[in-house]
Amino acid sequence: MKPVGPIPAGYGALGGELAIAGRTASALVAEAGRTPLFVYSRAHLDARMAELRAALPNRVGMNYAVKANPHPAVIAHMAPLVDGFDIASAGELALCVAAGIDPVRISFAGPGKRDDELEAAITAGVTLNCESEGEGARALAIGQRLGKAPRIAIRVNPSFVMTGSGMKMGGGAKPFGIDAERVPMLARAIIAQGAEWRGLHIFTGSQTLGAEAIIEAQANVLALAAELAEAIGHGLPKLNMGGGLGIPYFPGDVAVDLPRVGAALAERVAHLPLALQQTELCMELGRYLVGEAGVYLTRIIDRKESHGVTFLVTDGGLHHQLAASGNFGTVVRRNYPSAIATHYGAEPTEEVNIVGCLCTPLDRLADNAMMPRAEVGDLVAVFCAGAYGATASPSAFLGHGPAAEMLV
C-alpha cells in the first residue's frame, strides 16, 4: 500500500460525491459534456488570495505567474485579485491583454525572448525582466526602431539558492538572469542608453514548504537588492522578490506556515535598508495561488486484474497531468492526492493502481492506493491540479487531445 497525498482544504461531499463549489463531480462533468475535465474553483482562488493579503505586509504586492495556469477564465478571475502578472512568452501576453489586463501591470521574464516577443512587449508597455546583456541590447535596439523607450528590469542570478526548494532557479551557472556581479554595469548601461529603469527581479526557487527557508531567502534577496541598488546608484523603482511558496502534494508534506513567513517579512519591511526605502516591493507566485484550486476529473473506462493487481484504467493520464504521473521533475514517484470522486468519503476497501489510457508504463495516476470499490463509469479526482496541469503536459501525445477546463 502506498498512501496518497493530502487532499487540500475546501472540498466536501454531497450525496456521496466529491463537491466542488457546492456541485457534485458528476454534475460538473455533465455540464462540461465530457471527461477528462479540469475544474478550477473561484472560492479557492479567492480564499488563497485573502489568506495572503492577511498574512503579508501591505507594502508587498502580489504578482501572478501566469505559466502556472493560463486558462483565460482563471487569468480574468485573478485580474482584480492580484497587483501584477508575470508572463514568460508573447502567447501569455496575448492572453493577459485579451483578459483586459493593463500591460503596465505585466512583467515578462524568460531566458529566450525572441525579437518579435520583445517588440510586442515594448509596444504594449510591458516591463522586460532582462535575462542577459545580449537581450538588453536587442531590447534597446528594438525600442529605438519603434521610437519607444523599453521598460527594463534586470533579472539577477543570485549566488544563493532557496534551501529545500523543489526547483532551483538561481545560484551557480544558470540560464536565468544575469550573474549578480555583472548587474550594476549592465543596469547603468541600459539606463544611459535611454531605457525606462524598472528595477530588479530576483527569483530563488520554487515549491518550498519550509517557512525558515523562505524567510532566509527573502532576507538574502533584500540584502542583495540593497547592495546592487547602491552599486547601480540610480534608486530602485521596483523589486520583484520572487516567491517559491510550495503546496503539499505528497504524503508527509506540510503546508507553508504563512503567518510566520508574513510576520518575518513585515519585520524586514519595517526596517528596510536605505537603498530600498522608496522601492515598490512585490512577490510572484504561481502554484501557491492556483494549484490547490484545481481538480482533474477522469472517468474509469476499464477495471482489470493482472497477477492479482487491480487496475482502474481511466480516460485521462499524463497527457493532461504529467506531474501527477511522476514524470515532471520528480525522482521517486509518489502519489498525488486522489480519490474516487463518485464515492467520496467512503471507506477505502481495496488496493488499486489507477492508470491513464496512454500506451506507456509511465502513465500512472496512483500506485497501490487504498480506495473505495470503483466500477467502470465512476469518476477519479486528482487534486492539486490547478497549476502545471493542462498546459504543462504533452496533450498531443497519443492523440487523445486536450482535457476540458472550467472555472466554477
Q: Does position 109 bind ligand PLP by CB under 6 A?
A: yes
In the complex, least distance from residue 369 CB atom to ligand PLP, rounded to whole angstroms: 26
Measured CA to CA, the distance from residue 123 to residue 126 in angstroms comes to 8
3-class DSSP string for 172-237: CCCCCCEEHHHHHHHHHHHHHCCCEEEEEEECCEECECCHHHHHHHHHHHHHHHHHHHHHHCCCCC
Shortest Å distance, C-beta 166 to ligand PLP:
8
387 binds ligand PLP (CB under 6 A): yes
Q: Is 208 in the site for ligand PLP (CB under 6 A)?
A: no
**What residue spans of 64-131 are helical by DSSP H?**
72-78, 90-98, 115-124
Nearer to ligand PLP (CB atom), residue 142 or residue 169 = 169
Q: Which is nearer to ligand PLP, 18 or 390 (CB)?
A: 390
Minimum distance from CB of 44 to ligand PLP (Å)? 15
* Member of 24, 165, 206, 321 binding ligand PLP (CB under 6 A): 206
Nearer to ligand PLP, 243 or 337 (CB): 243
- Our finding on whether 26 is near ligand PLP (CB under 6 A) is no
Q: Judged by CB under 6 A, does residue 154 bind ligand PLP?
A: no
**Beta strands at 17-20 and 23-24: parallel, antiparallel or unpaired:** antiparallel
In this complex, which beta carbon is closest to ligand PLP, that of residue 51 or of residue 315?
51
Distance between CA 346 and CA 341 in Å, rounded?
A: 10
Asked whether the beta carbons of 118 and 109 are under 8 A apart, the reply is no
- Half-sphere exposure for 141 (CA within 13 Å, toward CB): 8
CB-based contacts of 335, cutoff 8 Å, min separation 6: 2, 3, 4, 5, 250, 251, 366, 367, 369
Given the complex with ligand PLP, which of 4 and 323 has the nearer CB atom?
323
Is the CB of 184 or the CB of 205 nearer to ligand PLP?
205
Beta carbon nearer to ligand PLP, 64 or 344: 64
Give the interface segment with ligand PLP, choosing from 53-61, 199-207, 352-360, 400-408 (CB under 6 A). Answer: 199-207
Q: Does position 243 bind ligand PLP by CB under 6 A? A: yes
For ligand PLP, the binding residues in 331-350 under the rule CB under 6 A are none
* Sites for ligand PLP among residues 267-296 (CB under 6 A): 284-288
Residue 204 interacting with ligand PLP (CB under 6 A):
no
Q: How far is C-alpha 386 from the chain's CA centre?
A: 9
Neighbours of 90 (CB within 10 A): 20
Q: How far is CA 297 from CA 42, 273, 311, 321, 405, in A?
A: 17, 49, 17, 11, 10
Query: What is the nearest approach in angstroms of ligand PLP to the Cβ of residue 82?
Result: 13
Please, what is the minimum distance in Å from the beta carbon of residue 67 to ligand PLP?
Answer: 5
Residues 31-70 interacting with ligand PLP (rule: CB under 6 A) = 65, 67-68
Find all residues with CB under 8 Å of 331, minimum gap 6, and list them. none
In angstroms, the CA 124 to CA 20 distance is: 37
Chain residues binding ligand PLP by CB under 6 A are 65, 67-68, 86, 109, 203, 206-207, 243, 284-288, 387
